[in-house]
């Protein structure tokens, strides 16, 4: 049988989600816990797959992993072997062919930061509208060995006063795309980047760009799939405390 697990984590002390030899990662802790529970001794044999490989310092409340197991995973048993900054929230049975990465309909990322002095929300929102739709996001991502940089952004929203919240929704995102879009939008808002130059970044491949926003403000909120529901989350003390930590995370514009 194949099951999908919804996972939350505070990424502050990890070198990203994906396993790295000799370094603490979210995936490393999760696989260790699954092994302790006798659910996954060999990730390849269990067809272990993930929805997103978040970078160092990035958190999540809606990460999804999938694996083949002989019995339904028990959330409490897995969490008993996890540190308090990682938690399995929900489990649901899925089709044998389920791939959390390739079958994602849309992913929702949220970024929070302290509003920088002199920030013009109207200007930033004007720039954000330009991001909607299909574009070559070459200027808004870290390049990954010649991989295509075309993409389509379905939703973008900026809200808040003292604390800014940026919400992005798309089927898929490129490496560092959200943080680089936020960095550029903040630059427009404080007057360091003209709207015309921002537009040019979508039309041409430009190297001299605003720096990506710091990772600690970024959270993977949700990954949605057709015909798959995880149900309602039980508000355990463990989950509530972890959610508070993640919701409180924000960065400072630099």
> Which amino acids are annotated catalytic?
55
Q: Give the pair of three-digit tokens for residue 86.
A: 């990682």
Based on C-alpha coordinates, what's the Rg of the chain?
19
User: In Å, how far are 76, 84, 124, 181, 234 from 153, measured between CA atoms?
Assistant: 37, 34, 16, 11, 32
DSSP 84-99: TTEEEEEEEEE-TT--
72-82 per-residue burial string, b: 16 or more CB within 10 A, e: under 16: ebebeebbeeb
Which residues are registered as beta bridge partners of 112? 165
By CB atoms closer than 10 A (0-12, 13-18, 19+), residue 233 is middle
- Please tell me the distance from the alpha carbon of residue 251 to that of residue 212, in angstroms, as a whole number: 12
Helices (H) and strands (E) in the chain, counts: 6, 10
């Amino acid at each position: 049988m194949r099951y999908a697990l919804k996972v939350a984590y505070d990424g502050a002390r990890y070198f990203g989600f994906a396993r790295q030899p000799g370094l603490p990662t979210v995936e490393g802790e999760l696989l260790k816990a699954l092994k302790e529970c006798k659910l996954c001794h060999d990730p390849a044999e269990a067809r272990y797959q993930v929805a997103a490989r978040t970078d160092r310092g990035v958190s999540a409340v809606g990460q999804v992993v999938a694996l083949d197991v002989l019995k339904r995973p028990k959330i409490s048993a897995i969490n008993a072997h996890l540190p308090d900054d990682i938690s399995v929230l929900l489990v649901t049975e899925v089709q044998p062919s389920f791939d959390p990465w390739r079958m994602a309909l849309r992913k929702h990322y949220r970024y929070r930061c302290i509003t920088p002095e002199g920030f013009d929300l109207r200007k930033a929102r004007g720039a954000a509208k330009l991001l909607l739709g299909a574009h070559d996001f070459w200027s808004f991502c870290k390049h990954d060995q010649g991989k295509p940089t075309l993409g389509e952004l379905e939703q973008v929203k900026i809200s808040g006063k003292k604390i800014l919240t940026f919400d992005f929704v798309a089927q898929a995102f490129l490496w560092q795309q959200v943080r680089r879009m936020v960095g550029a939008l903040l630059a427009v808002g404080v007057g360091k980047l003209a709207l015309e130059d921002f537009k040019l970044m979508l039309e041409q491949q430009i190297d001299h760009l605003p720096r990506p926003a710091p990772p600690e403000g970024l959270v993977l909120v949700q990954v949605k799939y057709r015909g798959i529901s995880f149900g309602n989350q039980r508000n355990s003390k463990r989950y509530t405390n972890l959610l508070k930590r993640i919701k409180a995370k924000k960065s400072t514009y630099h």
